Amino acid sequence: MTKLSVNINKIGTLRNSRGSDFPNLVNFAKKIQSLGADGITVHPRPDERHIKYSDIFDLKPVVYKEFNIEGNPINKFIDLVIKSKPDQVTLVPDSESDLTSCAGWDTIKHKNYLKEVVSEFQSNGIRTSIFLDPELKYTETLNEIGTDRIEFYTESYARKYSIDKEQAIKPYVICAKNINKMGIGINAGHDLALNNIKFFKNNIENLLEVSIGHALIVESIEMGIENVIEKYLSYLK
């Protein structure tokens, strides 16, 4: 079964829009776990427009399932992750000006940098994952980098799914075969939703975990969070 980690950045955005503590991030994390989700994901950015750095330390004691922190490994982020010691850190090459993550790592150009950062997190007992575009050339340096997992950036799959789902999934299937041969774990995230998650899961061998936030929150507004999480869990079996 593929694990479902719920990204709660949108809850932080909603809270921050009113300058208050409602909705409460900690209570929401507790509820999501109680409904069967396998983990909580957050992506703190330097401007703290959704997740604040202080939220990490509020969440840490109550996330009793898997805690995944995503972000660009600038010094401030590295310090935060090492101090909070989540179960997993997902390295994402986004800039401060990006509204959302929009690309995976160039693992050829940034091989030595990623190798150093991955080693630092692993030495602190934190599992590492690298945000990756589905291009075969970017899988070739993964063993040298030493990452435990990758997270497929699935925007292109989601965008093309309604046009031709077989073509949309094809580059991910090709890359996944190579990554599985290396013994590296596979996660996925970005624009995955109820309408496309089952086909992705059924076609990617050894898909360990998906991280879903924006779509899940929107779907929860429409259908109720209990129903939505139950649907995701059934599709990921």
Catalytic residues: 43, 70, 190
Retrieve residue 121's tokens: 């997190």
Separation CA 125–CA 88 (nearest Å): 9
Element (DSSP H or E) covering residue 39: strand 39-42
Write out 101-163 in H/E/C secondary structure: CCCCCCCCCCHHHHHHHHHHHHHCCCEEEEEECCCHHHHCCHHHHCCCEEEEECHHHHHHHCC
Separation CA 137–CA 139 (nearest Å): 5
H-only helix segments in 183-237: 197-203, 214-223, 225-235
Q: Are 86 and 64 in contact (CB under 8 A)?
A: no
Calculate ∠ Cα 184-90-31, nearest 5°.
Answer: 110
Separation CA 111–CA 113 (nearest Å): 6
Element (DSSP H or E) covering residue 189: strand 185-189
Residue 153 β-bridge partners = 189
